[in-house]
Amino acid sequence: MSAPIRLDKRVVALFQCSRAEAQQYIEGGCVTVDGVVVDTPQTMVGAETVVLDADAEAKGLESATLLFNKPAGMSAAEALAQITEATRAESDASGIRLLQRHFHRLQALMPLEAAASGLVVFSQDWRIRRCLEEEQALLEQEFNVEISGELKPYGMLRLAHGLRHEGRELPPCKVSWQNEDRLRFAIKNVRPGQLRYMCREVGLDVVAIRRLRIGRVGLSKMPEGQWRYLAAGQRF
């Protein structure tokens, strides 16, 4: 029986590459141990069969950004726990393998309140983090808001411009009827509880809130409870 050895050392010995290349192969999901992808170089292996993908490339690792269609009533932590290969959307054409390293230092950005549903973003990428944190006030978000109640006179005009929330005058937004019990908001710099407050001010009660889009990135046809990677070149 072979004495246990670190996986990166085994890859170096088997495939005559450098230690740095071996680590890049492993962390990039290009190495299997007994048919299972292992992406941690320090994993100890013995007599297991170690295979390197025929088209493996040793290259720098890209940071991951994941988009999830969150069901109502789920926290960000609960949403992250739902991200598995089984819940990956069929529309995900990224070709990226789901690896354990994609969960390291993954941060929820522009989170939704637990009661709301729709698009949430998790990212390791400092560029995405900076965009969604520093430019949040400039990014338009789109929401469908299911409502009940009777709209007060001039209510739509007041929703679009003329309300205050938490001591600040709200900037103009775009609001329209989707049907008799659903409004569409295209709004910037929205804060937790703001949409509920705005609707209440014009005589409406919020039944449900669903975020459809952040900037230029939307849910598209991704089903609820499923996720995908942010496509290469796609920008908020």
**Domain match, 129 and 151 both:** no
**Domain match, 147 and 124 both:** no
For residue range 121-154, list pLDDT tens digits in order: 999 888 899 889 888 888 999 999 999 999 999 9
Considering the domain boundaries, does residue 144 fall inside one? Answer: yes
Considering the domain boundaries, does residue 111 fall inside one? Answer: yes
**Domain match, 225 and 115 both:** yes
**Domain match, 14 and 121 both:** no
**Domain match, 96 and 194 both:** no
Neighbouring C-alpha atoms within 13 Å toward the C-beta of 225: 3
Considering the domain boundaries, does residue 58 fall inside one? Answer: no
pLDDT at 59 over 70: no
Domains in the chain, number = 3
**Domain match, 70 and 169 both:** no
Q: What is the mean pLDDT of the chain?
A: 88
* pTM > 0.85: yes or no: no
Distance in angstroms (rounded) separating the CA atoms of residues 157 and 163: 10
Considering the domain boundaries, does residue 59 fall inside one? Answer: no
**Domain match, 145 and 209 both:** yes
Range of the domain at 40: 5-52
**Domain match, 204 and 179 both:** yes
pLDDT at 179 over 80: yes
Q: Which of these ranges, 27-31, 134-138, 168-172, has the smallest mean pLDDT?
A: 27-31
Considering the domain boundaries, does residue 235 fall inside one? Answer: no
pLDDT at 1 over 60: no
Considering the domain boundaries, does residue 236 fall inside one? Answer: no
Considering the domain boundaries, does residue 163 fall inside one? Answer: yes
Considering the domain boundaries, does residue 30 fall inside one? Answer: yes
- Where does residue 113 fall: left (phi above 0), alpha (psi -120 to 50 degrees), or beta otherwise? beta
Residue 61 — very low, low, confident or very high, per pLDDT cuts 50/70/90?
Answer: low
CATH number of the domain within which 46 lies: 3.10.290.10
**Domain match, 111 and 225 both:** yes
Neighbouring C-alpha atoms within 13 Å toward the C-beta of 120: 29
**pLDDT score of 144:** 97
